[in-house]
Amino acid sequence: MPKSHVSFEEYLSVQMQKGVYQFRIAPETTPDGVKFLIHPLGVDGETRDFVVVASSIADVTRWLPEANVEQADPPKIDDYVLATKYDDGDPNDHWFVGFLHGFTESGRYLVADNHGRDQRAGGFRRAEKITGHEGRVILNQAKAGYQSVWDLLAEIRKKNESTV
């Protein structure tokens, strides 16, 4: 029996009603725009192909890193780091202050606590070396209304520069 066509919004709405919130997306460039296959993860859900015309899609990313904040050199093994699940550093997503102990096959950062326990099996997408003082301030203030732990780190560093 052939499937009926639905809008992307209808498809997502039905999937979310079924409790599906994670998807695998495989994009492909076509003359009409970007075609992508979307498949629900972890369930035998309905796979669909959609074509996205660029003029109808808007970037609505919640937290964008500040453009003027330079990212430091990549941290080295055993460095004390701030690590975030996503590049934006949203404090509501998984982040951690600890020690870099390795990398995943895909290049993500593996970070451990003081006892060597890994804090995220899939690794963190972004990590930056920090000082002990920066770590303490981040741990004390990260939930205090900051939109990004990276913005908080930038603010700490600006304050440190002005007192030097």
Instruction: Give the CA distances from residue 113 to residues 8, 41, 154, in Å, rounded to whole numbers and listed in that order.
Output: 42, 30, 23
pLDDT (tens digit per residue) in 18-43: 877 777 787 777 777 777 777 777 66
Residues 159 and 94 in one domain: yes
Res. 2: pLDDT tops 50: no
Please check whether residue 97 lies inside any domain of the structure. Answer: yes
Beta bridge partners of 30: 33
Q: Give 101: exposed, middle or buried? Use CB within 10 Å, 0-12, 13-18, 19+.
A: middle
Please check whether residue 28 lies inside any domain of the structure. Answer: yes
Please report which confidence band the pLDDT of residue 9 belongs to, taking 50, 70 and 90 as the band edges: confident
pLDDT (tens digit per residue) in 86-105: 888 888 888 999 999 999 88
Residue 70: partners with Cβ closer than 8 Å, 6 or more residues away: none
Res. 117: pLDDT tops 80: yes
Residues 88 and 155 in one domain: yes
% of the chain with per-residue pLDDT over 70: 79
Query: How would you label 108-127 residue by residue, b for 16+ Cβ within 10 Å and e otherwise?
Result: bbbbbeeeeeebbeebbebb
Rounded to the nearest integer, the mean pLDDT of the chain is: 79
Range of the domain at 89: 80-163
Q: How many domains does the chain have?
A: 2
CA angle 42, 47, 53 (to 5 degrees): 125
